[in-house]
Amino acid sequence: MRIYLDNAATTQLDNEVFKAITPYLLEYYGNPSSHHEHGREVKKAIEGARSTIAGLLNATPGEIIFTSGGTEADNTAILSSVRSHQIKHVITTPFEHHAVLHTLEALKTKGEIQLSFINTDSHGNLDINHLDALLKTNGRSLVSVMHANNEIGNLNDIELIGEVCKSRGALFHSDTVQTMGHYRHDLSKLNTDFIAASAHKFHGPKGVGFIYCRNGVQLSQLLHGGSQERKLRAGTENIHGIIGLAKALEIAYRNIDEHRVYIQNLKNRMIAKLREQIGDVYFNGNSAIADKSLYTVLSASLPVNHATGDLLAYLDQNNISVSGGSACSTGSASHVLKAIGADGSRNTIRFSFSKFNTAQEIDHTVEKLSALYKAIAA
């Protein structure tokens, strides 16, 4: 039996979600754009899912557009801001997901935008005063700041950032891929113009997500062709994915407080066990600070010895799945760790937890790591 501690990369599909989507693979197979009963019943299910999501987020159904996931949602928010709202200046952080950073870098290379980065400290905390100064001196801008970092878990105060953006007339986009389904988002109060989400980060299916676009903010057409998604994203909808997305978010909100306490306790246990059994360990960014980090993510920096080799491979060989950082950046040095000046000579492991993990799995994982270091020292 394998232990899975890479939930920031993707999560196990909830069995209740699987049951909800199965009829839309076998029984309800009509094309939702068809004007007959087979099509109408599927179209009704899509709009029901949209209403469910909007209700949970305190948004309106018209503000929810289904996408293939977080990357598409991030790209759409940025490109819409630049091309529909004539934004020429974008402010972001060096810690964003590559879906944001690579898009912005491409636009900068083409000469479509000027790009500024918010000052940060060695823990990855953002200088909000610097953000305000950038907004004050650069005209109307887009601010793109994620809610929580996918590698070190740092939480950003998007409520405060939204207020600063609103006071300066800036558009605000937040990648909430890591926090959707793990925190409550009241979009009627949060001053965001765009947010991105992906179902597979909260026990839904892969290949589906959504972009929230605030009423009154123009969204560029994603794909040309048919009239799906209010003529914004052509192509037959991912029916079972959409149904699964809505069901997964519904389940997450139903048990969100209980799961948060449970998973935070697992994380706390991992921190304590690593300190006790490894000793020479520190945690990147705000990863070990409960009120400043995502409770599902822990980034640990462990000592290196010539005999340890690749710790990720060692754990994999011992039936424990973890990662060093973002699954989208496997094989390359972490831009997040570089940005906070982390010691590149040490072994970094990202442990990420879910409601399906157990205390016994935490103990076993640390015991395996401890055994390796003890064997080296012997």
User: Of 69, 204, 37, 199, which is closest to residue 29 (Cα–Cα)?
Assistant: 37
Asked whether residue 15 carries a pLDDT value surpassing 70, the answer given is yes
The per-type count for the chain, helices as H runs and strands as E runs, is 13, 12
Return the minimum-mean-pLDDT range out of 204-213, 248-257, 344-353: 344-353
Assigned token pair, 124: 């990855």
| Pair (208, 91) in one structural domain | yes
Predicted confidence band at 139 (pLDDT cuts at 50, 70, 90)? confident
Provide the 8-state DSSP code for 2: -
Provide the 8-state DSSP code for 126: B
| Pair (239, 332) in one structural domain | no
- Region of residue 229 (left: phi > 0; alpha: psi -120 to 50; beta: else): left
* pLDDT tens string 239-248: 999 999 999 9
**Catalytic one of 160, 328, 375, 376:** 328
| Pair (170, 286) in one structural domain | no
What residues contact 165, with CB distance under 8 A and at least 6 apart? Answer: 135, 143, 171, 172, 191
What's the confidence (pLDDT) of residue 328?
57
For residues 257-286, give the mean pLDDT.
Answer: 96
For residues 91-114, give the mean pLDDT.
Answer: 97
For residues 325-346, give the mean pLDDT.
Answer: 76
Per cent of the chain over pLDDT 90 is 84
User: Of 127, 135, 185, which is closest to residue 156 (Cα–Cα)?
Assistant: 127
Q: How many domains does one find in the chain? A: 2
Q: What is the pTM of this model?
A: 0.94
Polymer length of the chain: 378
Assigned token pair, 310: 């690749």
Tell me, what CATH number does 242's domain have? Answer: 3.40.640.10
Asked whether residue 159 carries a pLDDT value surpassing 70, the answer given is yes
Active site residue 213: no
Asked whether residue 378 carries a pLDDT value surpassing 70, the answer given is no
Range of the domain at 142: 15-254
* pLDDT tens string 120-131: 999 999 999 999
Assigned token pair, 244: 């699964």
147, 173 Cβ separation under 8 angstroms: no
